[in-house]
């Protein structure tokens, strides 16, 4: 994010400055703000949050192994990454063309499809990882 106090180079881009702990902390603050905006502003993100919390609760209850946790965390991260990028693409498209545009609609559909792919993959990982311990518990 370009701050008003940043200096710009001749080509209008922010100049590279030296490493600054304050700047790094500020970048994390912006990132957390973006995640908060994602969850507060997107219904699907709240569904992903609910699903993520459910997976974590199930994993803790079933005492899954560290190896299984790696898969579960990867699956959840994949869905969150896809949802965040989809939301960013949708917002950018809406800013560029507020009215209906067939090409913009296609772009938004493709981005939404990426979230669907991630969610299906995550559901498969969840079933393969959590399914066997649940079956043992039910026997």
Listed residue (32, 125, 134, 122) closest to 84, CA to CA:
32
Residues of the chain with pLDDT under 50: none
The pLDDT value given to residue 18: 81
Q: How far is CA 50 from CA 11, 44, 57, in A?
A: 45, 10, 10
Tell me the CATH number of domain 43-138, given options 1.10.287.3610, 1.10.150.120, 1.10.10.920, 3.30.70.3040. 1.10.287.3610
* CATH 1.10.287.3610 placement within the chain: 43-138
- Tell me which residues are annotated as active site: 83
Contact 77, 52 (CB under 8 A): no
pLDDT tens for each residue of 36-71: 999 999 999 999 999 999 999 999 999 999 999 999
């Amino acid at each position: 994010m370009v701050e008003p106090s940043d200096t710009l180079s001749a080509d209008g881009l922010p100049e590279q400055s030296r490493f600054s702990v304050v700047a790094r902390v500020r970048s994390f603050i912006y990132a957390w703000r973006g995640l908060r905006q994602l969850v507060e502003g997107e219904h699907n993100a709240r569904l992903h949050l609910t699903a993520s919390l459910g997976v974590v609760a199930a994993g803790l209850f079933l005492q899954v192994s560290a190896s299984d946790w790696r898969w579960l965390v990867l699956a959840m991260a994949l869905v969150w990454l896809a949802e965040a990028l989809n939301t960013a693409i949708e917002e950018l498209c809406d800013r560029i063309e507020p009215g209906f545009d067939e090409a913009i609609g296609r772009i938004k559909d493709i981005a939404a499809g990426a979230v669907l792919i991630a969610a299906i993959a995550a559901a498969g990982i969840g079933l393969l990882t959590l399914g066997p311990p649940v079956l043992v518990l039910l026997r």
